[in-house]
Chains A and B, each alone.
Chain A
């Protein structure tokens, strides 16, 4: 599948933003975060900024962005519509939670309840994003049972990696124990991604050139002549092949940059004093951003659509 930059930015940025806000809600409810104004302001600005950036970016690949509001209407059947509705609903508890935290400097009691609702809404929105892809039977790499866990874990992971330097910068007592959570999530992220790739490499796809043409009873089917001498929309959108050539190398880059090196850096941060821990946490953010961008690019570029069976592929 063609890896559109707008969609890669949408899924990674909004995933990280929702992850960060979800952590704020959960940790506040556990009484682990002080309702300090400027910490809240920076954390919510970062989280909401990423969410808004992602959502705006997602409208960039639309042919008619000015009609995007129409996408809120078909939540009964469409995961894309559900995602849009969930994203809009999520702004309510998140905005309220941020307002109480920053203005009233409160995150306990009723404020904590609002925070938990906000966290839940964030998780639901990320799940809807994952289901847009996971519900497409035509793309085996996406209909994998690991797609939903990958999106949820990577969202929680990227949010936690972003929260980590904030905790360090404010010198909060939660910083050291939370670094262990980050380490755990980095390991979990690598694990779900490896399971996803193992699943992808093992299966062969339920459709073939034989079933696509229905000519399998006669023999082996191969494309003799394409409909056009030139490319067409379907081939450009669905027949993206560049990544498969470099897939193994790109997977290693995603694993090392997205999970391996950040793990070492955050572990190192545990042994360093405040300033060193902050520096390693910030470098970890940059590395996770790079790793997840490569991971998400591969999620699209490695995915093979069954329509390619009509354009020379033998299995999808």
Chain B
């Protein structure tokens, strides 16, 4: 049934992505591909991978944006994006076959590849570009939040997080229950004023993004630097200051 769950449970598993920390190394996308190409939605087909026009299925992509401030100053923000596992997922309700569904127990949005007809309507309905079409198999695929990893009892409990989270070398990705206001991820979102993407599209995504921290401006940095510099005259002891004054004459 592609109607959204009438009785969604309290658990909303999702990701919190820290744009202040992400360095844009693409490791999360690579490990996503690595895990999922033999996981729930395997394979993540590539076509012409070593040829002139390679393309393939990816559940996670890293875009890099430049943000130009009013004074002309700019900054680079690396921006990983995968399925946001929306509460009002339009990809689910448009599906004509029931292949696309949202789980009531944890909010994960999945595709049943055995029922998908590959009409691509879900990819048209998703504002975030989370839906992928596998040309080879003729069905739609998407981020599963590593459903075959996060519940896998053969793995060490610490490893039961999505592949993108476990591989991030800088700790810019967090995984947890965003439906529980006291969970670590919810507290992080509250502390850092995490936000949802394109709220105007009305999809109520679960994933949250943490904004880059305010940037230090060069003039402010210059004013602050001398005071912070250890070994300066102002912070020196009485004797050193007397010697400094004598020698400065």
Contact = CB atoms under 8 A, between A and B. Distances in A.
Interface stretch (B114-122, B170-178, B181-189, B217-225): B114-122
Contacts of A76: 1, 3
A214 B137 contact: no
Nearest to B77: A215
Contact of A224 (B19, B56, B65, B128): B65
Nearest to B115: A70
Nearest to A229: B54
A311 to B, nearest CB: 8
Contacts of B235: none
A207 B127 contact: yes
Interface stretch (B67-75, B148-156, B161-169, B240-248): B67-75
Interface stretch (A15-23, A37-45, A57-65): A57-65
Contacts of B95: 74, 77-78
Given A62-B119, A64-B117, A74 B53 contact: no
B139 A224 contact: no
Contact of B2 (A78, A211, A225): A78
B35 interface: no
A85 to B, nearest CB: 9
Contact of B97 (A74, A207, A237): A74
Contact of A63 (B76, B81, B133, B198): B133
B221 to A, nearest CB: 18
A1 B125 CA distance: 12
Chain A, interface size category, equals 35 or more
B108 to A, nearest CB: 18
Interface string A223-252: 111111011111001100000000000000
Interface stretch (A28-36, A144-152, A302-310): A302-310
A136 B131 CA distance: 15
A135 B94 contact: yes
Nearest to B199: A211
Contacts, number: 194
B63 A232 contact: no
Given A219-B67, A232-B58, A238 B97 contact: no
Interface in A36-94: 61-65, 67-68, 70-74, 76-81, 84
Interface string A171-211: 00000000000000000000000000000000000110101
A63 B138 contact: yes
Interface string B81-110: 100000000101111111100000000000
A139 interface: yes
Contact of B198 (A78, A212, A218): A212
A222 B139 CA distance: 32
B118 A62 contact: yes
B178 to A, nearest CB: 16
A78 B126 contact: no
A310 B118 contact: no
A137 interface: yes
B62 A227 contact: yes
A225 B55 contact: no
Contacts of A212: 197-198
A81 B94 CA distance: 8
A70 B119 contact: no
A138 interface: yes
Nearest to A307: B129
Interface string B4-43: 1000000000000001000010000100000000000000
A60 to B, nearest CB: 11
A232 B127 contact: no
Given A84-B96, A213-B197, A138 B119 contact: no
A230 B55 contact: yes
B124 A1 contact: yes
Nearest to B209: A214
A187 to B, nearest CB: 32
6 contacts: A77-B93, A78-B2, A80-B94, A132-B121, A306-B198, A310-B129
